[in-house]
Amino acid sequence: MAVLSEELRKQIRDQFPKYPNKRAVVLPALHLVQDSLRHVSIEAVREIAELLELHPSEVHDTMSFYQFFKDEKHQLGKHRVWVCRSISCMLRGGEELLQHMCEKLHVHPGQTSADGKITMEFAECLGACEGAPCVLVDDEAHMNITPEKADELLKNL
Amino acid sequence: MAEFQPVLLARIGKPDSQSLETYRRDGGYEGFKKALGMAPVDVITLVKDSGLRGRGGAGFPTGLKWTFLPKDHPGPIYLAINADESEPATFNNRILMEEDPHQVLEGIAISCYAIKSKTAYIYLRYEYGRSYRALQKAVDECYAAGIFGKNIFGSGFDLDVVLHRGAAAYICGEETGLIESLEGKRAWPRIKPPFPAIEGLFRKPTIVNNIETMACVKNILDKGGEWFKSLGIPPDPSNPRDAGSYGPKLYCISGHVNKPGCVELPMGITARQLIDEHGGGVWKGRTAKAVVPGGISMGFMSASELDTPLDFNGPGKVGCLGLGTAAITVIDDQTSMVDVLFNCARFFSHESCGQCTPCREGTAWMHKILTRIRMGEGQLRDLDLLNEVAGSMGIIPGTTICGLSDGAAWPIKNAIKKFRPEFEEYITTGKKTVKPAEALMAAH
């Protein structure tokens, strides 16, 4: 049975007119698949390749370059929570915040909470340095995060 | 001097600043209409004569870059917008995209007309979700209003603007890495030449420009090249390669200050003025030990160098790599430079794309050596070793394809040169400052 639903396939095909070739749709396709399935399995890579008229190894070559995309061994939780560890956040407690949030969820960075809800990760500079330390929930930045605010954020996910 | 009135940030913070309606009420897209009434070559000349230099970090003259496109090319020609803003401590483009997306889009439309491009791709870093949604809404509004699409304002000019999201990789900010990534490949920078203007995206002539540069282009159309050139600093006569630092600039202030933020000022303000007059001073009543002048790849200014003007020519005079993104990070006197440098080295070893051996190995070894020092196992000769590795990698020694490793080497060289006694004391007294969080990340 196919891994990609007809709806996902349609969303991927809808990207085609934006580019002069189908290979340029690799990143948009990987985003669509990962957003929906919370990982990109080898089978999904094969099906993306078929849609884009590429060899599966070409799609996998691209995918494996961006640590952002996860294979079936690294299934993501419902939400990804990233704590910035780069300079401006580090200077204002970013790493301590990461430790606090990992301890709260009993995970190491890269792992998902036992209830499957939250994958905790560290990030390099999130570009929200005026609000350091900063936390990204999926793709929304939350600024000036104290341990108390972090607890609140996690609770509401 | 009268207080400078922001231009690029003029609409930031106003109610509903993202909407087409308020943008047009403020005179939006009049500059684009004006451009459509001019010959494309005259728009290029206007931008060239304004003295505008790219805001992304390298400071290459924008109009001059546009003239590198082949003459009378049958097309397509592409404009690729670098919105992969990932240099640590830099967030000025995010503010423009989130709060005033139409200003950016108008600059893009004008630039496309000037270079005869019918398609612009905005390569946006994934982490900027709010920017993505603000830009997408603005793009949709433009299509609905006939500002993008076919035969715009009856001029016969067609334009499509496409948003393309990245996937959290710093190297995509390197212009040919960005192009490879947009083409659906790993973001390995290309060997140059050919430069993108000759053979870029999809093997076609391509101009890669930064978001803030686009906002500048829009305002040059509105206010004229003379206005732009009336701000900033003329070329330094002692530096024949300096093309001047004109116009307003967005400066980011972060780190140990009371009021971090983004401010717009004429080029050439000093780090001390940014800290004291715009950043609310160093926090907790402390003093600044060091300041990063424009993203960590530019290196460090020491406390005695804070009166250096932050124009394209200034930071180089005190041994920094350049102005970079003009994003200053303030480091207070209670912070260990060993910890700061470790943070920089870890960033670059994580973000090296792995294509060139000197960078892949060099960044990893610098990270390892600094880890060792911070575990209390460093030796004095490690400092020379760090310098040796840093001196062997990059475009400047001629060993790599792109400048990532020059940026990785610079903070190492600067820190050891300017703060050597602190490093020596750290090593000889056997200090250890590794934090528990770092062990967690190392296990990752």
Same domain, B319 and B381: no
Q: Do A136 and B127 touch (CB under 8 A)?
A: yes
Is the pLDDT higher at A1 or at B324?
A: B324
Kindly report the CATH number that applies to the domain delimited by A77-155: 3.40.30.10
Contacts A95 to B, Cβ<8 Å: 435, 437-438
Q: What's the confidence (pLDDT) of residue B444?
A: 55
Show which of B330, B350, B376 is a domain's final residue. Answer: B330
Confidence (pLDDT) at B3: 82
By CA distance, what is B127's nearest residue in A? A139
pLDDT of residue B441: 82
Both B135 and B61 in a single domain?
yes
Q: Looking at residue A64, what is its pLDDT?
A: 97
Q: Is the same domain home to B221 and B273?
A: no
Residues B129-138: tens digit of each pLDDT: 999 999 999 9
Out of B330, B361, B377, pick the residue that ends a domain.
Answer: B330
Query: Residue A8's pLDDT band (boundaries 50, 70, 90)?
Result: very high
Please tell me whether residues B319 and B260 are part of one structural domain.
Answer: yes
Ranges of each domain in chain A: 6-72, 77-155
User: Is B11 a domain residue?
Assistant: no
The Cα of A122 is separated from the nearest Cα of chain B by a number of Å equal to: 8
pLDDT bracket for residue A1 (50, 70, 90) = confident
Same domain for B324 and B376, yes or no, is no
Of B241 and A71, which is predicted with more confidence? A71
Average pLDDT rounded to a whole number, residues A150-157:
96
B86 contacts on A by Cβ (under 8 Å): 124-125, 127
For residue A35, the distance in angstroms to the closest alpha carbon of chain B comes to 12
Instruction: Report how many domains make up chain B.
Output: 3
Please indicate whether, in this complex, the C-beta atoms of A140 and B129 are within 8 angstroms of each other. Answer: yes
Mean pLDDT of chain A: 97
Question: Is B237 inside a domain boundary?
Answer: no
ipTM of the complex: 0.97
Q: Could you tell me which chain A residue has the CA closest to the CA of B204?
A: A20
pLDDT of residue A117: 97
Q: Is B128's CB within 8 Å of A139's CB?
A: yes
Q: Is residue B10 part of a domain?
A: no
Domain CATH for B413: 1.20.1440.230
Do B181 and B161 share a structural domain?
yes
Q: Is residue B6 part of a domain?
A: no
pLDDT given at position B292: 97
**Domain CATH code at residue B270:** 3.10.20.600
CATH label of the domain that carries residue B59: 3.40.50.11540
- The reply to whether B146 falls in a domain is yes
Q: With beta carbons under 8 A apart, name residues in chain B contacting A131.
A: 260
Domain boundary residue, one of B330, B362, B377: B330
Mean pLDDT in consecutive groups of 10 residues from the start of chain B, 444 residues: 87 96 98 98 98 95 98 95 97 98 98 98 98 98 98 98 97 97 98 97 98 98 97 92 95 98 97 98 98 97 98 96 97 98 98 97 97 96 98 95 97 98 96 86 68
Same domain, B222 and B287: no
The whole-number pLDDT of residue B297 equals 97
Residues B209 and B259 in one domain: no
| The overall pTM is greater than 0.90 | yes
Beta carbons of A128 and B87 less than 8 Å apart: no
Q: Are strands A79-84 and B119-124 parallel, antiparallel or unpaired?
A: unpaired
Instruction: Kindly report, residue by residue over B279-304, the tens digit of the pLDDT.
Output: 999 999 999 999 999 999 999 999 99
Chain B contact set for A30 (CB, 8 A): 167
B323 and B342: one domain? no
A6-72: CATH superfamily:
NADH-quinone oxidoreductase subunit E (1.10.10.1590)
Q: Distance (Å) from the C-alpha of residue B160 to the closest C-alpha of chain A?
A: 9
pLDDT (0 to 100) of residue B443: 59
- Say yes or no to pLDDT of A110 above 80: yes
Domain presence at residue B5 = no
Parent domain of B40: 20-230
Residue A15 has pLDDT above 70, yes or no: yes
Percent of chain A surpassing pLDDT 90? 99
**Same domain as B321, residue B185:** no
- Whether residues B208 and B59 share a domain: the answer is yes
